Amino acid sequence: MANMTNLVAMVIACLIQVESSGNVNAVGDFAEKVILDIPSESCKGYRLMLRYPRAVGPLQMWEVSVDEANRLEGLAARREGRQPRTWKPVDRTSLRASVDMATVILTFHYKRGAVDPVELGGKWRNPFSVCPKFYLDRVRKELKKQGRK
């Protein structure tokens, strides 16, 4: 258990540098959503778009990551007979909450066989598919910089 806990903590420290260079207020990619679309016969019409950040905080988490952390925490809490912790999307900008959510998610992947630090770091970006080589190289480089692997 101690090896898993230490490895997950080491990978999270690395990912914070890879994803945001340690900036808890980092804002990554944006998404756009149409919130008002008025067609018009005489012109192109009117379209009001809302632009909002998808990836925020020290680990550049998307809202779906919060949902996944809540789901996995609920499973673990039920198995252990305790009340689950819950997080909200706003918690992505909290270092403590982000680390807690990432710990839940990466512990799940560790228990599923991702025991190599670089592979585990890749699960942060692509949890259920192949992570691109460029991202794995960034994780590997940061781990080496931190004196690990």
CB–CB of 3/10 below 8 Å?
A: no
pLDDT tens-digit map of 100-135: 999 999 999 999 999 999 999 999 999 999 999 999
How high does pLDDT run on average in the chain?
A: 90
| pLDDT tens by residue, 34-49 | 767 777 665 666 677 7
Residue 110 burial by Cβ neighbours in a 10 Å radius (0-12, 13-18, 19+): buried
Q: What is the C-alpha to C-alpha distance for residues 2 and 8, in angstroms, rounded to an integer?
A: 10
Please tell me the predicted confidence (pLDDT) of residue 49.
73
Residue, of 85 and 31, whose pLDDT is higher: 85
